[in-house]
Amino acid sequence: MNKDLKIYIAGHKGMVGSAIWRSLTAKGYENLIGSSSKDLDLREQQAVRDFMAKEKPDVIIDAAAKVGGILANNNFPYQFLMENLLIQNNLIDAALQTGVEKFIFLGSSCIYPKLAPQPLKEDYLLTDTLEPTNEWYAIAKITGVKACQAIRKQFDKDYVSLMPTNLYGTHDNFDLNSSHVLPAMIRKFHEAKENNQAPVTLWGSGTPMREFLFVDDMANAVTFAVENKLPDYLYNVGTGHDLTIKDLAETIAKIVGHTGEIIWDSTKPDGTPRKLMDVSKMHDLGWKHQVELEEGVKKTYQWFLENIDNVKKIILTE
């Protein structure tokens, strides 16, 4: 690939976007552009169109989204549906209107039906009902996938969707009101350890199975998609391996150094029973994850400790 390609990363300051920026930079791409939400509101159609007309990127990577865990999705369904629709629709349409040939759309494994057979294959999309606790986000992301597929079909452009499993890593969100399960556990176990090994209460039964992918591996999958024309419109990105939430909690507690009691609050929802990705399509093309869970959690916890002052404002106000 031409290393002078002008690549716009939407959401470049987030956990995923910043990892993609690092991955592309490491491969020699120097003409990368991003714009903070203060300078460009991706929910505003005209602002996005003006930005695209001015910058004229060769490639767009959509890593921008309103994201959160079960609690946030349950409490703010309208925002999770509408804001994500606005962000992705504005980016996709502006890309088409300005002649962008390659667009990489990032979604989530929650686009698949709640009770779909395991592991989840790309073909299972729209074959059954969604998980109620995050269907608003899922419906928005499904719309993005289908929009890119439609452009691919109608205009023969290289628009592809990558659906990662549960992501975690450096620059993650550790806000207990909006974070996902893994960073939330890291913070809870760390604070409990600091509080004389206090008990930690976690949601649900601990029995659901989940798959986790270190964010740098996801970023490398995006770089792979930049450098190759993928033959299909939709690809799962994950490890192909999962574990119970209970096993995840015990792994994190061990790494953090928490030796206190773990209490499971079964009055809280478990979410989807299992979400294991079939990643054979990406494997067949030549991409595979590199970072295993324990190594990834250690890296993430180390980053949390090194940046504790940056998250302390959130910690102190909760």
pLDDT in tens for each of the 318 residues of the chain? 689 999 999 999 999 999 999 999 999 999 999 998 889 999 999 999 999 999 999 999 999 998 776 777 788 899 999 999 999 999 999 999 999 999 999 999 989 998 899 999 999 999 999 988 889 999 999 999 999 999 999 999 999 999 999 999 999 989 887 778 899 999 999 999 999 999 999 989 999 999 999 999 999 999 999 999 999 999 999 999 999 999 999 999 999 999 999 999 999 988 778 889 999 999 999 999 999 999 999 999 999 999 988 775 555 433
With contact defined as beta carbons under 8 Å apart, do 62 and 88 qualify?
yes
pLDDT at position 317: 39
Residue 312: the pLDDT is 58
Q: In angstroms, rounded to a whole number, what is the distance separating the alpha carbons of residues 206 and 263?
A: 10
Which candidate, 108, 81, 80, places its Cα nearest to that of 275? 108
Q: Is 137 a catalytic residue?
A: yes
Q: For 119-184, give the DSSP string.
A: SBPGGGTTSSPPPGGGHHHHHHHHHHHHHHHHHHHHH--EEEEEEE-EEE-TT----TTT--HHHH
In sequence order, which residues have a C-beta less than 8 Å from that of residue 241 and are 6 or more positions away?
211, 276
Angstrom distance (rounded) from CA 241 to CA 292: 10
Could you tell me which residues are annotated as the binding site for NADP(+)? 11-17, 106-109, 141, 164-167, 180
What pLDDT was estimated at residue 1? 67
pLDDT at 58: 97
For residues 130 and 218, give the distance between their C-alpha atoms in angstroms, rounded to a whole number: 24
List, as residue ranges, the binding site for substrate: 188, 203, 210, 270
- Return phi, psi of residue 83, to 5°: -65, -40
Find the catalytic residue in 137, 159, 235, 301.
137
Taken in order of first residue, the domains within the chain and their CATH numbers are: 7-312 (3.40.50.720)
pTM of the predicted model, to two decimals?
0.92
Looking at residue 5, the DSSP 8-state letter turns out to be -
